[in-house]
Structure 1
Amino acid sequence: MDEMALRQKAACLCLFLFLHAWNVKAGVEVTMQESVEVYLGDSAEIQCRFNFTDPIHNFFVQWFVKDKDSGLRTRIYYGKYNTVDIVVDDDTEYSGRINVTLDQHRSRLTLQEVQITDERKFICQANGVSAGVDESKTHLRVFAPPDAPAIKGVQSGISVTNEMPSKVATCEARNGFPKANITWYRNSMPLVPSAGLVNVWTSDTVEPSGLYSVQSTLEYQVVKGDQKANFSCEVSFLVPGAIRTAESSSVGVTVYYPTTMVELWRESPTGLVKEGDTVELRCQGDGNPPPNFIFSKIEGDSASVDLESRSNVLMLQAVTRRDGGVYRCRLRDDEAQKGDMELSVKYLDAAAVIPKESEVMLRGEDLMASCNALSNLPTSIVWYKDGRTVGKGNTLHLQDATYETAGEYLCEVTVPELPGLHTSGSVHIIVHGGPQLVGEEQEVHLEEALGRTVNLSCEARGHPAPSITWIFVGSQSWHEIFSRSGEHVTRSVVSVAVNSNISVVCNTSNDFGIDVRTFSIKAIPLVTSSAPFSPEGSGVVIVVIILSLLLVAIMGSVLFFLHRKGKIPCGRSGKQAISKEKTAKDDIVVELKNNGNAKTEDAVLLKAVNGEKSGMNEQVSV
């Protein structure tokens, strides 16, 4: 009996519970969104829908919030449908910030100026009394994008010899909600944490505003190739309905690594180096930081002499050929690491000309001159005279010397590969010889009116400079108006009055010989004379005078030449001796006949003793 009674009671209880559950479920149903997402500071709208199985005219609606930490619920609103009983609870954090509407099928809660603390569950409960009670909840999610990520690289260098990963950079994303995530990149490729290679340490801070600031530190095992690598961080964060990212700027890292190679080169000058140049040598190693170097010059058998230098630069001022050779730079703390280079200094010695300074030649002789300058580069030699090129090569051949051959010969030596190298030398050629009158005429014939004045010019070349004397026949009225004597040339100009037919001799001489030129001036009367005139007779007189004049000039020049050579004594006794021996020949008398008559018309006495100088104005009377 007791067992049967217990079974009946149990069956009745199950039926009651079933019927009660069916009535509740069938009486009212509340539905809400699972979550509502909103930016910090915006307004949030949360809707609550309810459905009653049977029509009902009176029901209650309450809104609650659930504490995230304790889980306790706090009512923030109470309202009764179809009445004016709508109450926002006082003394809650939502008093004054919410607005609730209620109709037969739904209730809508609007929250103003959403805050971080509003990130929680909002519960809506509908109570239909006899129809039953039901509730549902919505999770309000609040979002605040963080500030742009700020990255900061380490200032000190990192050595590749470090055994563990070293700190490279830090990245921070401030004032975000919820927490942001930070990812590290190397040259735009993500870095994945790996033991012994990549370590990422992340922490966060809750600001007084409730927002999160996230910090991340990257530790990385650097290698030599990271000297030019770029590191950056990326922040990813949630926003309503999406995930967004923001990338920081890039930072580099200074990588320290040992030197494995040393290189030495010439920085300046470019091209070939010549004596007098300033040479700059630079040394560089592939290590970082740049090492300290020692410069030296190899002096035979690998022995070296250390040189003063500045950092990685060696300056050689005004180099000479002795500065050529092998130079070396090496690490101060590791002599095994070194670099070598050979410096070649190009040079050109002063030109040596043979013959030196000056050389005397006789007219008609040949001469071979040479010019050389020692250099370690091919040279080019050109000979110049008076600015004109007269030869090329190291030898100059002068043949059949004339007075035009005399002068300064310049030998210029250049280096085609290096225009800055050049030198020169010279030789002065002196040509000795007897006088040579300028011009080819031996006799000059002129006609001039009586009473006029004629200028006669005589110019002679020779070395030593020849002297010029004038001999006049037929005129006593003449004078020298110009005279000049140089190293090789003598010139004289005389002015003579034409009073009759005149014969003039220009006599030039020096230690090596004589030369003579005659001028015949025929006087033309201005008025025709009535006196008888015989052209034949006058012509004979002129010819005889000219022949006599030439004979006297030649004899005088020969005597002067012998006197200069020492063949005739210079003393007074010598002159007397000559006079005594040649008493009958001292005077030369030329008798001229006119028209074949025997009567002597004129007698010409010519005195031509060149042992005694009579000056430039020596006269001959006819």
Structure 2
Amino acid sequence: MRFLGFSETALLIISLLETVRGLPTFVGKYGETIDVPCGEGKDKPEKLFLTKWKYTKADGSTGDLLKLSDKNLAIIPDVDYTGRVNLTQDLSLRITQTRLSDQKMYTCMLVAGEDILEYPVQVRILKTPSAPTITNQAKEMEIGKPTLLGECSTKDANPAANITWLKNNVPLMSDEKAIKITTTVQTDKTTGLASTSSKLEYTAVKEDLNAKFACAVKHSSLTADLVSTPVDFVINYPTEKVSLQVVAADVIKEGDNVTLKCKADGNPPPSSYSFHIKGKKVKVENSDSHTLTNVTRANTGEYKCSLVDNDAMAASVNITVMYLDITSITKGKVVKQLDESFEPTLFVNASGEPKVTWSKNNISLNSPPKFDKLKYSDSGVYECVVSMPGLFRKASFELIIQGAPVINKLSKKLSNTGNFKVLSCEAEGSPKPTVQWSINGTNATETPYVGGRVTHRITIIPTVNLTVNCTVSNELGQASKSLDVSTLFEEVTVDKRAEDSNDQTRVAVGVVIGVILAAVAIGLIYWIYMKRTRQGTWKTGEKEDGTTEESKKLEENQSQKAEV
């Protein structure tokens, strides 16, 4: 079974409609071959004598096309059908290269004996129109002014095609005011085919900016409308609003460049603008921008731009230039005395609320430095960082704590070999104290001076008992301490006595431990002996346990042996 296409279905529907009107209709396509049926759906009589096809002329008369008699086919010459007509096996009239002039009524006549049957058929020829095109397009349109937008045309159709205008794929309806559509149809005198054209006169509104216009062709031979390529138009309208934009970083700070960009909503946009800068009017040609270079806090304020020929059509914007200054701070070298109170000064001038952080010797501090009683360890380089978004400032000072020197500790120590003694003098003060000993020594060493403290060490070999002095001094004062140092011989004697005493103690402890161990050993031996004696070896058949008296005697004998 073959299914009909959409176009064939359309032709069939048209034929059925004609049939409803009372006359069978056959629809064919222009330029193609058609087979006009003879009495379609009706049985052919038997013993046909004659089959003939004829057509009705415009004046109502008839003309013969062909006839079949006794299997002899005769095609009757006709200037309009020469070489284009024939008879099919089922007696249909075949017409090739159809023309619009083929639209007429054809009659199939059948003669069988005395019966004469006639089957008239109305033939219609459809011609698909060409794709639509838009010509005479307007270059631009002005809001509120009726303008011929363009002319849409399609050619060579039968019957004539219908044209519909579309805006953004929505059909436009003529209201003879803002939308006016004029349609004309012309028929080719040679082919009889019709060409349709439609003109659209349109009054644009601002919302039509970037709108797409097209035209669509509707025809009974088409499965879907033919739509032209969409076009858009330049729509001109006057400026109604001006806007001013600031092109810069999110935070404008001193030293930045700031560009003012003026925009107008008119079309075409203005080519020049006026910028109002701090009471001065600056005109820029062929540009919409003006740049402020290396701005300062003095550039903070209101700025405007306007149309060159209309200052009232303007827009304004406020610009705030951020700044940050440290106007006063403790800096340089700051000398303070030990135990003195101190707090550095800091004054900031800023356009907003700044963030302040402190560090000492590159180590962050949790709070700003403030001292009720200075210590040597408070000395160091303090740095302050004041910051705002996009801005920061730094400042630093060196704090120096001074004080007269003191001796914190004076000590002596015998070397591990016992051949010499090491004397240590630990001093504190600022500037750094100088250490002097009352005797000469060797292998003098000094620890690093940190936090106002330094330790000086010397090595001596005392041959007599003596008193040693350590003196520390700086430009603010001095301090001294003495230490009694005995000879190495006395140290050795004392150490020997201590050693002997330790040896005696060790001997006594050893004797006690030995006695304890001996007692434990004797008890263990006695226990083993008693256990073996009680268990004994008995002969077979004898009683395993002795009498009470025998047991006591045995225990007494064993006890005596143990005592021996």
Tell me whether the two structures share a fold, i.e. TM-score over 0.5: yes
**Do the aligned partners of residues 285 and 61 (structure 1) sit closer, same or farther apart at CA in structure 2, a change above 3 Å counting?**
same
User: Does 2:50 align with 1:95?
Assistant: no
Q: Distance in 2 between matches of 1:175 and 1:37?
A: 18
Aligned length: 468
Letter in 2 for 1:176: A
- Mapped contact 2:29–2:98 kept (Cα < 8 A): no
Alignment correspondent of 1:509: 473
- Mapped contact 1:351–1:372 kept (Cα < 8 A): yes
Q: Distance in 2 between matches of 1:351 and 1:516?
A: 47
- Mapped contact 2:262–2:305 kept (Cα < 8 A): yes
Alignment correspondent of 2:152: 171
Alignment correspondent of 1:257: 237
User: Does 2:28 align with 1:38?
Assistant: yes
Q: Distance in 2 between matches of 1:310 and 1:99?
A: 77
Q: Distance in 1 between matches of 2:245 and 2:95?
A: 75
Letter in 2 for 1:259: T
User: Which structure 2 residues correspond to residues 107-126 of structure 1 after superposition, within 5 A?
Assistant: 108-124=91-107
Describe the SS at the equivalent of 1:413. Answer: strand
User: Does 2:255 align with 1:276?
Assistant: yes
Letter in 2 for 1:311: S
Tell me how far 1:169 sits from its aligned partner. Answer: 3.9
Q: Distance in 1 between matches of 2:137 and 2:483?
A: 110
Residues 458-495 of structure 1, C-alpha deviations (whole Å, 9 max, x = no match): 454433332221222xxx65253558779966664433
Structure 1: give runs of 5+ residues left out of the alignment: 1-30, 534-622
User: Does 2:136 align with 1:160?
Assistant: no
Letter in 1 for 2:405: P
- Mapped contact 1:282–1:314 kept (Cα < 8 A): yes
Describe the SS at the equivalent of 1:296. Answer: strand
User: Which structure 2 residues correspond to residues 60-209 of structure 1 after superposition, within 5 A?
Assistant: 61=52, 63-64=54-55, 66=57, 71=59, 75-79=63-67, 83=70, 86-90=73-77, 92-100=79-87, 108-124=91-107, 138-151=121-134, 154=137, 156-162=139-145, 165-203=146-184
Residue of structure 2 aligned with 1:412, choices 385, 396, 419: 385
Q: Distance in 1 between matches of 2:48 and 2:402?
A: 155
Tell me how far 1:174 sits from its aligned partner. Answer: 4.3
Q: Distance in 1 between matches of 2:276 and 2:249?
A: 19
Tell me how far 1:80 sits from its aligned partner. Answer: 6.8
User: Which structure 2 residues correspond to residues 183-582 of structure 1 after superposition, within 5 A?
Assistant: 183-203=164-184, 211-239=193-221, 245-248=225-228, 250-270=230-250, 272-299=251-278, 303-306=279-282, 311-354=287-330, 356-390=331-365, 392=367, 397-415=370-388, 418=389, 420-437=390-407, 440-441=408-409, 443-448=410-415, 452-458=419-425, 460-472=427-439, 478-481=442-445, 492-497=456-461, 503-522=467-486, 524-525=488-489
- Mapped contact 1:144–1:176 kept (Cα < 8 A): yes
- Mapped contact 2:414–2:421 kept (Cα < 8 A): no
Q: Distance in 2 between matches of 1:527 and 1:341?
A: 93
Residues 567-586 of structure 1, C-alpha deviations (whole Å, 9 max, x = no match): xxxxxxxxxxxxxxxxxxxx
**Do the aligned partners of residues 321 and 529 (structure 1) sit closer, same or farther apart at CA in structure 2, a change above 3 Å counting?**
closer
Tell me how far 1:42 sits from its aligned partner. Answer: 3.8
**Do the aligned partners of residues 133 and 517 (structure 1) sit closer, same or farther apart at CA in structure 2, a change above 3 Å counting?**
same
Q: Distance in 1 between matches of 2:492 and 2:358?
A: 64
- Mapped contact 1:357–1:428 kept (Cα < 8 A): yes
**Do the aligned partners of residues 118 and 526 (structure 1) sit closer, same or farther apart at CA in structure 2, a change above 3 Å counting?**
farther
Tell me how far 1:262 sits from its aligned partner. Answer: 0.9
**Do the aligned partners of residues 291 and 526 (structure 1) sit closer, same or farther apart at CA in structure 2, a change above 3 Å counting?**
same
Letter in 1 for 2:431: P
- Mapped contact 1:236–1:245 kept (Cα < 8 A): yes
- Mapped contact 1:201–1:216 kept (Cα < 8 A): yes
Tell me how far 1:99 sits from its aligned partner. Answer: 2.1
- Mapped contact 1:352–1:425 kept (Cα < 8 A): no
**Do the aligned partners of residues 185 and 84 (structure 1) sit closer, same or farther apart at CA in structure 2, a change above 3 Å counting?**
same
**Do the aligned partners of residues 433 and 80 (structure 1) sit closer, same or farther apart at CA in structure 2, a change above 3 Å counting?**
closer
- Mapped contact 1:506–1:518 kept (Cα < 8 A): yes
Tell me how far 1:98 sits from its aligned partner. Answer: 1.9
**Do the aligned partners of residues 78 and 465 (structure 1) sit closer, same or farther apart at CA in structure 2, a change above 3 Å counting?**
closer
**Do the aligned partners of residues 488 and 73 (structure 1) sit closer, same or farther apart at CA in structure 2, a change above 3 Å counting?**
farther
User: Which structure 2 residues correspond to residues 12-27 of structure 1 after superposition, within 5 A?
Assistant: none
Letter in 1 for 2:239: T
Describe the SS at the equivalent of 1:345. Answer: coil
Tell me how far 1:121 sits from its aligned partner. Answer: 1.4
Q: Which moved more, 1:303-312 or 1:396-405?
A: 303-312
Q: Distance in 1 between matches of 2:465 and 2:150?
A: 122
- Mapped contact 2:462–2:488 kept (Cα < 8 A): no
Structure 2: give runs of 5+ residues left out of the alignment: 1-20, 498-564
Tell me how far 1:403 sits from its aligned partner. Answer: 1.9
Tell me how far 1:421 sits from its aligned partner. Answer: 1.9
Letter in 1 for 2:77: D
Residues 509-540 of structure 1, C-alpha deviations (whole Å, 9 max, x = no match): 1221112344555555499779xx9xxxxxxx
Tell me how far 1:197 sits from its aligned partner. Answer: 2.1
- Mapped contact 2:53–2:93 kept (Cα < 8 A): no
Alignment correspondent of 1:576: none
**Do the aligned partners of residues 62 and 367 (structure 1) sit closer, same or farther apart at CA in structure 2, a change above 3 Å counting?**
closer
Q: Distance in 1 between matches of 2:168 and 2:135?
A: 16
Describe the SS at the equivalent of 2:207. Answer: helix
Describe the SS at the equivalent of 2:208. Answer: helix
**Do the aligned partners of residues 125 and 520 (structure 1) sit closer, same or farther apart at CA in structure 2, a change above 3 Å counting?**
same
Alignment correspondent of 2:562: none
RMSD over aligned CA atoms reads 4.2
Describe the SS at the equivalent of 1:399. Answer: coil
Describe the SS at the equivalent of 1:322. Answer: helix
**Do the aligned partners of residues 436 and 150 (structure 1) sit closer, same or farther apart at CA in structure 2, a change above 3 Å counting?**
farther
Tell me how far 1:127 sits from its aligned partner. Answer: 11
Residues 524-560 of structure 1, C-alpha deviations (whole Å, 9 max, x = no match): 5499779xx9xxxxxxxxxxxxxxxxxxxxxxxxxxx
Letter in 1 for 2:231: V
Describe the SS at the equivalent of 1:349. Answer: strand
Alignment correspondent of 1:575: none
Q: Distance in 2 between matches of 1:245 and 1:213?
A: 16
Letter in 2 for 1:95: T
